[in-house]
Amino acid sequence: MAAQRSLMANAYDRARDVLQRFFPYAYGFSTKHNYAKDYGWPEHLGFDDFYRMYCRSGLAAAAVDKTIAKTWQTIPALWESEKPAESAAEEAIRRHFAKRNIWRAFMDADRRSMVGEYAGAIILLRDGRKLDEPVDRVARGIENVAGIIPAWQGQLTVAEWDDDELSETYGEPLWFQFDEQAVGDPLNAKKSHVRVHRDRMLIWSDDGTLNCRSALEPGYNDVSDAEKIKGAGGEGFWKSARGAPIIEAPQGVTPDDLRRGMNAASVDDVKDKLNDKVEQFQAGFDNALMLGGFSAKPMTITLPQPKEFWEPCVQSFAASMSIPFKILVGNITGERASTEDKVEWAETCMSRRENRVLPILNEFIDRLVEWGVLEKRDWTVGWASLLEASPDDKLARAEKMSKINKEQGSEPVFLPDEIREEAGYAPADEVEGFDEFLAEREERKRQTAEDGQTEIVPDDEVEP
């Protein structure tokens, strides 16, 4: 059987080589080189590879966590219309979502969907039914949403598909199997399978299906190369400080002499005993190496500057994640991210929020309305824009508008309320006591003009 498998494997390799010559574009970038094999990259990637990289690589973790942190920089809210009405229903939703960590659970599902090809968000309802049963009607009230359980891709498998060709959901999952212990330490964990109906599951991915890919996949090779350079540099410095010595035997000493002198069973046993002594020597900087007649010379390692090799890998990975390089690595290069980088990063995360996150949240709200948890309204997920200027930027723009008005003289370009709005303040007619303040100021000016004195305005009477 082993010989037959070997013959079949050789035949497959020969056939593949022939097909590569005739159909090169179907077999990667090059027909001459196998890049994955030559450069030590895995040819096939799965969830375990992405999860391990996220857990062990600072670059991968930073790319995912910074994207999520920026996308969810502020907590959204659920409004009854396009503008907040501060109604009792909105207040109840805000309090309940904060109490049950609903938004935080959705944020965690979003994070997990970046690591895997998709993630899940299990909806817990107080409807008196089990997780594997479909949802019919739920009593009115947001308190009947008990919570959200974010799930890794590795915790979810499709238990049954919809094979009814007449069904609107033909070809989609009917039930999922959720194994909470499947990710983390699956070898030592107990299996705890729970069957979940699709009504109670939100699939978190680019298009809401399982046929997506991990955000870490395009840059996986770049992170691998960066980790190799960093790891080789660390190991190289250690070896330079406490390297393995080169051991030379006295002239005329044969391998058999060594074997007899060290009371070893074979020449290989001699090597093992020497390695044991060297290992004990390398275990601490204060250890001595005694070889009895042998000479030991240090092995010198000259390391190149790794920055020139490491940075291109990180830059390529940052490009694959659409993150500006200086935002990904922070201030490690001695330069802060430019204003252009920050604006571009905010625009990228706003696009991600609009095209990936909000459609899933809107689907969640639609289900709550369909089940009767919420009344039928024009529910809107309100979310502060990431492109909104900072308070300092607003004041700087208002100052520029004021200067332009002064330069124009008697015909100002901007109205006072426009300048106030740009600075982040309400219009003057909406400020309580503003009219009285203006009237008092005008009266002081009039009296000052009549008396020929310089007006002194108390410190506590400044324009609101």
Per-residue model confidence as pLDDT tens digits over 86-97: 789 999 999 999
Q: Which of 7-11, 82-86, 187-191, 411-415 has the lowest mean pLDDT?
A: 7-11
Which band of pLDDT confidence, cut at 50, 70 and 90, is reported for residue 334?
low
Quick one: DSSP state of residue 380?
Answer: E
Q: Which of 46-55, 65-74, 322-331 has the lowest mean pLDDT?
A: 322-331
CA distance 62 to 328: 7
Q: How far is CA 55 from CA 72, 97, 222, in A?
A: 21, 29, 16
Q: Higher-confidence residue: 445 or 309?
A: 309
Is 107 within a domain? yes
Is 378 within a domain? yes
Is 462 within a domain? no
Q: Whole-structure pTM over 0.85, yes or no?
A: no
pLDDT at 2: 47
Range of the domain at 25: 1-32
- Residue 106: which of 95, 94, 119 has the closest Cα? 119
pLDDT digits (tens, 9 = 90+) for 364-374: 999 999 999 99
Residue that has been written with the tokens 């108390």 in this structure: 458
Q: Higher-confidence residue: 322 or 302?
A: 322
pLDDT over threshold 50, residue 305: yes
Q: Higher-confidence residue: 93 or 446?
A: 93
For 233, other C-beta atoms within 10 Å of its C-beta total 17
CA distance 151 to 159: 15
342 and 425 within one domain = no
106 and 59 within one domain = yes
Beta bridge partners of 124: 147
Residue 88: CA count within 13 A, CB half-sphere: 1
Q: Higher-confidence residue: 402 or 278?
A: 402
Q: Higher-confidence residue: 21 or 359?
A: 359
25 and 154 within one domain = no
Question: Do 100 and 126 contact (CB within 8 A), yes or no?
Answer: no
- Residue 167: which of 198, 211, 200 has the closest Cα? 198
Which band of pLDDT confidence, cut at 50, 70 and 90, is reported for residue 265?
confident
pLDDT at 228: 87
pLDDT at 405: 79
| 325-333 contact pairs (CB < 8 A, 24+) | 327/66, 328/59, 328/62, 328/63, 328/66, 329/62
Is 75 within a domain? yes
70 and 140 within one domain = yes
Which tokens sit at 244? 């393995």
282 and 211 within one domain = no
291 and 154 within one domain = no
pLDDT at 77: 94
The amino acid present at 7, given as its one-letter code, is L
Is 233 within a domain? no
CA distance 281 to 397: 67
CA distance 450 to 135: 80
Q: Higher-confidence residue: 196 or 165?
A: 196
- The stretch 19-47 carries a mean pLDDT of 67
290 and 413 within one domain = no
pLDDT digits (tens, 9 = 90+) for 132-170: 999 999 999 999 999 999 999 999 999 999 988 888 888
Total structural domains in the chain? 4
Beta bridge partners of 202: 121
- The stretch 161-187 carries a mean pLDDT of 86
Label residue 437 exposed, middle or buried (CB < 10 Å: 0-12, 13-18, 19+). middle
371, 388, 405 - which closes a domain: 388
CA 7 to chain centre: 46
143 and 199 within one domain = yes
| 420-429 contact pairs (CB < 8 A, 24+) | 422/394, 422/397, 422/398, 423/394, 423/395, 423/397, 423/398, 424/391, 424/394, 424/395, 425/464
203 and 143 within one domain = yes
Is 461 within a domain? no
| Maximum CA extent, the chain | 120
210 and 107 within one domain = yes
388, 409, 432 - which closes a domain: 388
Is 367 within a domain? yes
412 and 290 within one domain = no
157 and 71 within one domain = yes
CA 402 to chain centre: 42
354, 372, 388 - which closes a domain: 388
Is 179 within a domain? yes
